[in-house]
Each structure stands twice: as C-alpha cells, then as structure tokens.
Chain A
Amino acid sequence: MRKIFAITTMLVILSIALAACGGASTPVSGEPITVIETVVVTVEVAGPLQVVAPTGFGLTLETVTARGNLICGVNSQVPGFGFVGADGSFAGFDVDFCRALAAAIFGDPDKVEFRPVTASERFTALQSGEIDILSRNTTWSFVRDTELAGNFVHTTFYDGQGMMAPTDSGINTLEDLEGGTICVQTGTTTELNLADVMASLGVSYTPAVFEDADSTFAAYGEGRCDAVTTDKSGLISRRTVLADPSAHVILDVTMSREPLGPMVRHGDDQWFDIAQWTVFALIAGEEFGVTSANVDDIKASSTAPEVRRLLGVEGDLGLKLGLSNDFAYNILKNLGNYEEVYNRNLGPDTPTYIPRGLNSLYTDGGLHYSPPFR
C-alpha cells in the first residue's frame, strides 16, 4: 500500500515538474497555465532538448546573443544556394546570407550553426524555434506568409519555375510532355504550380513525387521520368551534378514567379527588421560601390552622408536595430556586397553560373533596390 502512495505522490510531483517546464516554454494568458507558472521559480528545468520558440519583440536576438551563435536552416543539396562541400563546410548564396546575418549580430561570420532542413520540415523547424531563420531558397507565397506563421524578409533571388529534359528526348515545350512522367519534389510550391500549369494547358501527365532534391534528381538521372521541374536556379545548379550535364536541356518556359528569400517567425518585429536590413545592407553596398576590399578605405575617407550612415561612421542606425553601430560594415567587410556574394556562388566563374537578369540592381534593369539608410 505504501508503494502505491509513493507512486502516486511521485506522479503528482512529476506532473507539477512537467507543468513547470511547459509553463516556462509557453507563458500564455490561458488560465490553467498561469496558475502553474508560479512554480517556475523553484523548479528550474532547462533541458537541452527543450525547444523554445521565442516570439515576443526582441526575444530572438536575446536568445541568439545568449547562445553565442545563430542557427540557420539551410539547404544542403542545391549547389550554388546551399550545399555541403567536399570538406564538409556549407557554401552557397543562401548560406552566405546566414553568414551576413551572423556578421551583423556578432561581427563574426562564422558564428553560425547550419542546420540542413528538407522542404517539408522547414516551416515546422522555424515555427518550433529549432532554427532562428530559414534561408533555404523558399518561395514567398500568400499561405506561407499568413497561415504558416512566417514573415518573408525580402526577396534575395528572383526566380521562376522551369523544366529540364534530356536533350535527345525531343521535348521542347510543355505540350510535348503529354502522357509523360514528371519528377517533382514534395512540399514545394513547384509541386502545386506543376499541377496548375498542366491543368490550364490541358496536358495530362503522371507526377513522380520524391521527398528530397537528391532522390528527385537521382530518379530523373535514371530515366524514371521524362522531365524534372523545380526553380530554374535549382535546375541549373542540379544539372552540374548530373552524370552528363550537357545531355540535359532546360526548356525555354517559365511556369511561375518564384521570389526566393529568407523567412522568420511571426511575432518578433525587431528580428524581422534585423534580417531585412541585412539584405538591404548587401544591396546598398553594391549600389554605393562598397566592396570587401575597399570598405576600410571608404569608411575612413567617404564624405557621402548615406555611405557614412551605412557604415556606422555617422548616426546610430545600428543601435536602433539593437546591434552595434557598424553592423553593415561587418557584413560588407566579411562577406562583401550583393554582387560579390552573387558572383562567389552563382557568377560566371562558378559551375553554377546563372546570368543576373532580374537579380541586377534597378540601375541595371533588375529588381534589387534598397530603401534609404536614414
């Protein structure tokens, strides 16, 4: 009998402890939780497995600085955007944005932990607080911006959905794919666009849907499907790792608009601002001709007021974000401006060369434009 009492007592204690950590992770106005919240002070449970999603104003920056590094959700399978190199380090356009953000916060681009997430788990990872920011060629769409509880920071890469087929297949248009099979990755806007576009063209097809980019393109490489579809940038980059890149052609069709960019959680406007002005600092850097090579000279000698504000020589713009005043200087010094980041990953000297097109500055006929640093 004593045993049963002991067990029940233990159970009750356990449930209180459980409630304590529950209350700690989610302080909400709901009645049952607020009562239990008082226990938090006495029972301090900070399990390493506990995932806390900081959502209030300023909480994300607080968590990141306390942790000492930024956790960035990235792709690990698309060369040029997010890829694990031969030496195990991450490289790519989206990866460099994470480094820029780390440079803005810590002044050190290496204080980032890259966490590879698949297309279907990325939003859950962001919502649950497993990652601080998602920088994984993610398309800005209505539902993702609202129902999936995320905020798109800014479009860093303007893309469109394309279709790739073997050169010798004789497929030149989407209509040629009548009755064929198309490989596509699950959990993407691509999957939905494909169904939309083919329905409006009246072309019947069979989708072969896969969980990640590697298996999608592996199946395509084996001839499982007649064509493969994803964002054009993805096609270009994945073509470089196919057995014979020259044997595949990207069709001259654009099936959708795909504005790609980083995404943060709803609820922390300060964090949103930090991420957004990190993007703008990169773009403004290119517009003002500030590069990683000349940033020190310009900082010392420039007389242009906006450049001085950008680099933190004049005014206190950085402080308004809760960062150091030279956050943009740190970004430009360590990563370079938008053009340098672009050319490093997608430029003419790389195997994943993508012409800049819409991704040029507005002065060159592109769409990139930074609001004033004022």
Chain B
Amino acid sequence: MRHRTTQKSTIPFWRDERILNILGQVAFIFGVLFVGMLIFLNMRAGLAKQGVTLSYNFFQGIAGFGISETLFSYSRESSYWQAYLVGLLNTLSVSIVGVVFSTIFGVMLGVARLSTNFLINRLATFYLELIRNLSLLVFLIFWYQGVFLKLPRVKQAVLWPADIILTNRGVGIPWGLPTASYPTFQLILLIGLILAIGVYLALRAYSRRTGRAPLTTLWTILSFILVALIGWLLLPEKPLTLDLPFVKGLNLSGGKILSPEFMALTSGLVLYTSAFIGEVVRAGILSVSKGQVEASRALGLNGFQTLRLVVFPQALRVIIPPLTSQYLNLIKNSSLAIAVGFPDVFYISNAIANQTGRAVEMIAMVMVTYLIFSLFTSVLMNWYNQRIKLVER
C-alpha cells in the first residue's frame, strides 16, 4: 500500500491530467480576458483620441425631440432617460401583444395543418409556406406601406361594424373608460382572483387524492369570470363605459387609437412568427406516437379526453423548447420597428445616440436591454418546461 502511494506522488504535476485540465481552463479564461481587455482599451484609446470619453451623464439632459407614441406623459422637456423608457415600454408592449397573438394563431395553424379536411389542410400549408419563405423586413414594409398607409384618409374614414374606424392615421377601436365605481370593481376582481386560485388549489388537491382529472383550468377561469360578472351586475354604476372612436378635426379621437406603425409592426410580427409556431405545434403533436392514442382509446377515453390527457401533455414537452426560441425571435425582431417608424427601444436609442453623439454607450445599452428581455423570457419558459417535463421515477 505504502509503496503504491509513494509511487503515485512521484508523478510530476505537469503530467498530472487533473492539474493540466484545470491549468488549461485557467489559461483559456485568462486568454479571453486578455483579448477582451485589449479590445476595450483599444476602443477607449481610439475614442479618447477623438476627444470622447465614455459616460452616461448625458442621460439627464433634455431630449428635445418629440415621440409619436408614448405610454406615459412625455414632452420635449423630458430627459433622454425618459425617452429611453418610452422606447423600452413600447418594445415591451409590442412583444407582449406579439407573443400572445402569435401563440393563438400559431396553435390554430398547427392544428389546421393536421386537419383531415382537405381545404383547411391545403390552405394552412399554402399560408405557411408563403409566409415562412418571405423576409421579415420586406413583410413589415409591405404591411406598412402596402396596407396600413393605403387605408382611406381621415376625411373618408371607413366605419366597420362594432364601431371600428379605419384610416391611414390609425385604427380606432372602442375602449373602456373607467367611471367612479371602477376602483370598487378592481377590488371585486381581486376577490375573484383569490377565489379562482382557491378553486385551482382545491381541484388540484382533489385530483391528487382521487386520481381523477377534473377540468382544472376551465373551472378556475369560470369562477373568476363568475365573480367579475356578479360584481358588474351588482354595482349601481357600470365601472366602465364604452368610449367610441370618432373623427375630430385632423385626427381620430376617443376610443383607443392604434397607429399604423404599431399595427404594421404587430401584424407583421404576429403573422410571421405564427407560421413558425404552427410548424412547432404540428411537430409536437406528431411526435406523440400513434400507439398512445390507440392505448387511450382502448382504455375508454373519448376523443377530447385523449387529446387533453394523453396527446397534449406529451406534445407540450416537445413544443416548449422551440417555442421559447420563437418567442425570443419575435422579441428581437421587434427591433425592425425602425423600418416602419415605430418608436421602439432601438429606434429611440438611435435617435439619442444621434443627437448626443454617444453611439457606443447607446448601442451597449440596447444590447444589454435585449439581453435582459431575452434572458427573462428564457428563464420563464425554462421554468415552465421544467414543470411539465416527464417525471421519471
């Protein structure tokens, strides 16, 4: 024994694989850091020679330019930082609207592609192949210049059913206007939410205890809607009144006005991304082997139960990872807003960089912004993926 150990300790460290492994990795990290530092120093030296130093102090200065779409009050006296926030919120709203709608359309497309109805099947295939093979930038410009700018002018505004106004200044849709009883209604909604969570937890516990599978999601949503409906009917004054859009002077007024830029960007992104999501959904459903369906039928499950309890949970495992990357694509693609003049975070940052000459700072800022957005989405989707993953015993 002793003989062996002494022999082992005689191996010189430069031939010890474990030590060499660690040394190699350390050397690699130092190499990367060294290169990174050289690049950074070189950039700083180059900028210093042009009389530019890196600093974010300019953010407090007055922006001085107007922005067409703002989610909070913004004027030319606002600071560059506020202008940046306007862009950030605009990107966020486009991303959220885009993700929600492209998921809905995508699932519909994926199911349509698998339909046994010849017409639905072929139409979905045709749509998908057409959209998927277009360039997104071209597609966006088509939607902006070819569709939304070609809508009638304000004076010849077209009135659609449900009081939707179509003009090339924007699309006006009816929107709720809060009244005095709105805060009370919000309280009722909160109660509804708590009740819904209670129903969800109770049904889950029931499902675990008995092994049955109640329609948890459906009942949860229904209980929330029920509370909201009772609240709406019981309140003496309606919490929201309908605000209809109308033409006033040079522009649209009332309701909710969606600008052509916003409409072009979201419809372009949604239709484009939903084509990809459709394929992801189709692949997910097809990945569930036929034997699973046959087995569940043999056990006496009906068509809906088969879909809900056997096919869908398994398909979801295949769908979620590629779906995540489609969501990330959509968020990053929203930076093409600059092509249709929608003031998103990249667009505003560009304007700031241009007015202040702080290109390096602003580009760094934009990159970090998109990185945070994407990482946050990834974390959220990975968490969900973890939850629905096959539990192996």
Contact = CB atoms under 8 A, between A and B. Distances in A.
A105 B353 CA distance: 34
B52 A191 contact: no
A123 interface: yes
Given A8-B24, A195-B65, A199-B76, A55 B31 contact: no
B241 interface: no
Interface stretch (A15-23, A88-96, A288-296, A363-371): A15-23
For this complex, into which size category does the number of interface residues on chain B fall? 35 or more
Contact of A19 (B27, B38, B249, B251): B38
B35 A11 contact: yes
Contacts, number: 157
B66 interface: yes
B31 A12 contact: yes
Contacts of A110: none
A123 B341 contact: no
Given A196-B64, A219-B149, A222-B145, A187 B355 contact: yes
A206 B145 contact: no
Contacts of B339: 211
B57 to A, nearest CB: 12
B169 interface: yes
Contact of A26 (B49, B153, B357): B49
A205 B28 CA distance: 57
Given A26-B46, A127-B50, A208-B68, A15 B35 contact: yes
Specify the main secondary structure of chain B where it touches its partner. helix
A210 B350 CA distance: 12
Interface residues of A, number: 61
Nearest to B28: A8
B17 to A, nearest CB: 7
A32 B41 contact: yes
A67 B240 CA distance: 70
B354 A195 contact: no
A266 B48 CA distance: 12
Interface string B345-376: 00100110111110100000000000000000
Contacts of A123: 354, 357
B45 A222 contact: no
A142 interface: no
B76 A196 contact: yes
Nearest to B357: A148
Contact of B31 (A8, A36, A186): A8
B250 A179 contact: yes
Interface in B116-152: 145, 149-150
A18 B38 contact: yes
Given A209-B343, A224-B168, A4 B41 contact: no
Interface of B: 17, 20, 24, 27-28, 31-32, 34-35, 38-39, 41-42, 44-46, 48-52, 64-68, 75-77, 145, 149-150, 153-154, 168-169, 248-251, 260-261, 338-339, 341, 343, 347, 350-351, 353-357, 359
